[in-house]
Amino acid sequence: MIAVLVLSLLGATLALPPKEGGNHWAVVVAGSNGWGNYRHQADACHAYQILHRNGIPDDRIIVMMYDDIANNEENPTPGIIINRPNGTDMYKGVPKDYNSEDVTPENFLNVLKGNKEAMAGIGSGKVLQSGPEDNVFVFFTDHGAPNLIAFPESELHAKDMMDALQYMHDNNMYKNLVFYLEACESGSMFHRHLPDNINIFATSAANPHESSYACYFDEKRETYLGDLYSVRWMEDSDTEDLKKETLQRQFKIVRRETNTSHVREYGDMSMKNMTLLQFQGGRVDVPLTPLPPYPQFDAVPAPEVKLAVLKHRMKVARTDEERSEVTDLIKQEFADRQMIRDTVETIVQKAVQDQDQADRVLRDRTRDLTAHDCYKRAVSHFRRRCFLFNVVRYEHALRHLYTLVNLCEEGVSVDR
């Protein structure tokens, strides 16, 4: 079977098996919530539509997303989600396997590991039931930070995700697995973590130390409709012949057209000549989807989305009252950022022994993480006691988690 995990399911069509037998499976996950994060669920819905259209049946696609966008009171087109300006509805037909409070790292890992017992009574209960002849496709989109990806109320660390992927390999849950990851610092989830000998090929929207980018600002919805890396791979899959295009060709196209961050590849490079059809669907008769020339991407770093939206609102404000309201929101955003920055600096100053060490911890954004247990405890404490970075107001705190990496690598005890 080819397992494609997509946490955004739509319909059911007949798929041909991948080469040499087996089935396709998919898991699609959008890990955020809130109108300001519209783009993540739009990405997930679009991914589902590609997999569904290309013949992967809904019982082999697993979709996980909060599902608070389509019928959000801020949505000017209720029940509709689009992923590009003037685009078609991506929401119709998407299965609701796991939504709301079911969007958690624990549930995601149990879905990957095929743990039906753990998922009994939760959402649809669907988990990967793939086997040694199946190919699996996983797409995840959300916020990230060094060595973690965010969920609505917690986070998933790189080591825990790698342990799940290793479990899948050791228990013959796939023949080949492809993982596409959209998040800031997404490369850190694979860099020096993903082995090159367990038949997994992964690409990330950014390298281990930089932001990914949002794109397609929509004046009507006052939000960004997509993420640049995600939009580029999906619009490529929409318009290319999946039985001819290889993973390597799609990677090169996405890397070239995602020119605001450094798209990276990891894992088993011998898989790069496999075709997209072997992971994103099995139908060979799917007509290509013509798309109008894509508009200028107006890409912005994901951490700057909130401020960019407010600046757009200021440009179109018609009254002094509207301008005053937006001005206050911008001031609040800058005040929150300064508060986060000051708090982090205070934590560092109290934790280290001298100013040279403090400067090093605050300055170095490129250190690799080896002290995983320390970092996991530190992040949990920071989220619970300082800033709930899963909510829109404090998302910018994610940009400072590199200091916790540095503190742990410096040998500073979490208890301090």
So what's the pLDDT on residue 15? 42
Q: How many CA atoms lie within 13 A of 203 on its CB side?
A: 23
Known catalytic membership, residue 24:
no
Q: Output the average pLDDT for the chain.
A: 93
Query: Is 224 in contact with 69 (CB distance < 8 Å)?
Result: no
So what's the pLDDT on residue 20? 59
CA distance 51 to 135: 13
Query: Is residue 241 over pLDDT 60?
Result: yes
CA distance 322 to 313: 9
User: Which one is catalytic: 40, 46, 143, 400?
Assistant: 143
CA distance 325 to 320: 9
Q: Mean pLDDT over residues 333-354, rounded?
A: 96
b/e per residue, 288-305, with b = 16+ CB within 10 A?
Answer: eeeeeeeeebebbbbbeb
297 vs 121, higher pLDDT: 121
The per-residue pLDDT for range 192-239, each reduced to its tens digit, is 999 999 999 999 999 999 999 999 999 999 999 999 999 999 999 999
Using alpha carbons, list the distances in angstroms from residue 70 to 63, 77, 81, 287: 15, 8, 6, 27
Q: Mean pLDDT over residues 270-297, rounded?
A: 80
So what's the pLDDT on residue 9? 35
Query: Is residue 398 over pLDDT 90?
Result: yes
Options 3.30.360.10, 1.25.10.10, 1.10.132.130, 3.40.50.300; CATH for 317-409 is: 1.10.132.130
Percent of residues in the chain assigned helix, strand, coil, to nearest 5: 40, 15, 45
**Tokens in use for 229?**
């890396």
pLDDT interval class at 247 (50, 70, 90): very high
So what's the pLDDT on residue 13? 36
Query: Is residue 289 over pLDDT 90?
Result: no
**CATH number of the structural domain 24-300:** 3.40.50.1460
Burial of 262 (0-12, 13-18, 19+ CB in 10 A): middle
The per-residue pLDDT for range 376-393, each reduced to its tens digit, is 999 999 999 999 999 889
Q: Which residues pair with 144 in a beta bridge?
A: 149
pLDDT above 90 as % of the chain: 88
Q: By C-alpha distance, which of 55, 66, 143, 140 is closest to 97? A: 66
**Nearest-5° Cα angle at 143, 138 to 147:** 75
User: Which one is catalytic: 184, 215, 374, 408?
Assistant: 184
Known catalytic membership, residue 184:
yes
CA distance 46 to 55: 15
Q: Where are the alpha helices (DSSP H) in 264-319?
A: 277-280, 305-316
So what's the pLDDT on residue 19? 56
So what's the pLDDT on residue 8? 40
pLDDT interval class at 12 (50, 70, 90): very low
Give the residue extent of every domain in the chain.
24-300, 317-409
Read off the DSSP letter of residue 354: S
pLDDT interval class at 259 (50, 70, 90): confident
So what's the pLDDT on residue 353? 87
Query: Is residue 282 over pLDDT 80?
Result: no
So what's the pLDDT on residue 416? 62
So what's the pLDDT on residue 213? 97
